[in-house]
Amino acid sequence: METALTNKTIVLGVTGSIAAYKAADIASRLTKAGAKVNVVMTEAATRFISPLALRSITGRAVATDMFDLESQYTIEHISLAEAADVVVVAPATASLIARAAAGISDDMLTLTLLATKAPIILAPAMNVNMFENSVTQENLAKLKARGFIIVDPAHGRLASGRVGKGRLADIDQIMGAIQQVLAKSGDLAGKKIVVTAGGTREPIDPVRHIGNPSSGKMGYAIAQAARDRGAKVTLITAPASLLPPPGMAVMPVKTALEMKQAVTKAVKGADALIMAAAVADYQPKSVARAKIKKDALALTLELVRTPDILAEAKGKFLKVGFAAESEDIVANAKKKLKNKQLDIIVANDITDKKSGFGVDTNKVTLIDKKGKVEPLPLLSKREVADKILDKLLVFLPH
């Protein structure tokens, strides 16, 4: 699965703290998430953890010495700083913090901090007295004022045996800070996007409903892609076979009516509404209060139309809809685009087995309000999600 970390270049700085071994876990998690991790170690860090260990985990060269002729970074030693999407120093010692605050660049890591234009995250780890010392606090305040992000150390038992603030923050917290920073620089930063997903269920009686096999995969992929590109996401989800994704507001609903209410609430102040949910077009006229018994040989259900949520949603936000078609795909989708006053419609060919319900791939055609028709090849739902968001960006006011 792609995340904010996929294909990102991350410099992981490691300094000489007893917590240096935890850098291996961070390097491993970042690498597994698809990031290119360039580890830069101070001389002291190499005494706590071997560069070879970090090289094995990341599969990439580890920079230790500015004048190391073997290193691929020697000739252009600021290339690391320039390639970085984010620089993370974990653990960061008092000495590293002091040198960074003073603008000293006497080794590969401090040089990288000085030369990079990427956001910098520091996760301090040290003895409680060193951390609380006013000089360390002043240095941290200085760095914060310059835009450094500090992941505060945790309270707990320190290597010295003392209990206090100074332990390297939880790895989850450091990972979260990295993800947040990368998403913030995304092209949807600051945009509010409402996504619907899943298949609505219209009750017949207390134990039965009219439903559809929507897995929610397409809508969830859009919500996750938008989150990873920096958007503030609200996911309104009808029943789906997926766990609620972190980093967004999730509103669970069951019926088309509930979804309409949730959408009406969520679109206030939104920049876009993307309706990937498979909304039932009909609901039983009345819901039986007790379970319907099989007394009769036949049963007729009277159905009435559900509200067309997308057509009825009105406001300044952009509207993106889906069209599940089996024939005349483009012509039918264009009709829906016009009738529902959409900005973009995503037309699905439901006759293709690799597309649509339940599967991880989708083959769609994007059609926009200017009449541009863009057929896409068979892609993963995440790739389709990013293509939809690319198109949305064209119409979003800057």
Binding site for ligand CTP (CB under 6 A): 256, 275, 277, 279, 281, 306, 308-310, 321-324, 336
Nearer to ligand CTP, 128 or 275 (CB): 275
At closest approach, how far in Å is the CB of 276 from ligand CTP? 7
Alpha-carbon distance 140 to 172, whole Å? 22
- Strand blocks (E) in 137-231: 149-150, 154-157, 163-167, 192-197, 202-205, 208-210
At closest approach, how far in Å is the CB of 224 from ligand CTP? 18
- Among candidate residues 7, 38, 129, 212, the one labeled active-site is 212
Q: Are 264 and 310 in contact (CB under 8 A)?
A: no
Q: Are strands 282-284 and 303-305 parallel, antiparallel or unpaired?
A: antiparallel
Q: Cβ neighbours of residue 397 under 8 Å, at least 6 residues apart?
A: none
Q: Which helix (H) or strand (E) holds 86?
A: strand 86-92
Alpha-carbon distance 249 to 267, whole Å? 13
Q: Report the candidate in 29, 372, 388, 341 with the shortest Cα–Cα distance to residue 231.
A: 388
Alpha-carbon distance 77 to 82, whole Å? 10
Nearer to ligand CTP, 139 or 255 (CB): 255
Q: Which helix (H) or strand (E) holds 97?
A: helix 94-102
At closest approach, how far in Å is the CB of 314 from ligand CTP? 13
At closest approach, how far in Å is the CB of 195 from ligand CTP? 11
Nearer to ligand CTP, 114 or 250 (CB): 250
Q: Which helix (H) or strand (E) holds 273?
A: strand 272-275
- Report residue 220 as tokens: 């969830």
Nearer to ligand CTP, 308 or 383 (CB): 308
Q: Are 49 and 21 in contact (CB under 8 A)?
A: yes
Amino acid at 6: T
- Report residue 264 as tokens: 């009406």
- Asked about 212 being catalytic, the answer comes back as yes
Nearer to ligand CTP, 101 or 324 (CB): 324
Task: Name the β-bridge partners of 303.
Answer: 284
At closest approach, how far in Å is the CB of 322 from ligand CTP? 4
Ramachandran angles phi, psi of 207, nearest 5° = -120, 0
Nearer to ligand CTP, 60 or 357 (CB): 357
- Report residue 51 as tokens: 């560069």
Integer Rg of the chain from CA: 26
At closest approach, how far in Å is the CB of 372 from ligand CTP? 19
Nearer to ligand CTP, 34 or 203 (CB): 203
Q: Are 311 and 341 in contact (CB under 8 A)?
A: yes
- Report residue 246 as tokens: 């972190």
At closest approach, how far in Å is the CB of 357 from ligand CTP? 12
Residues assigned a catalytic role: 212
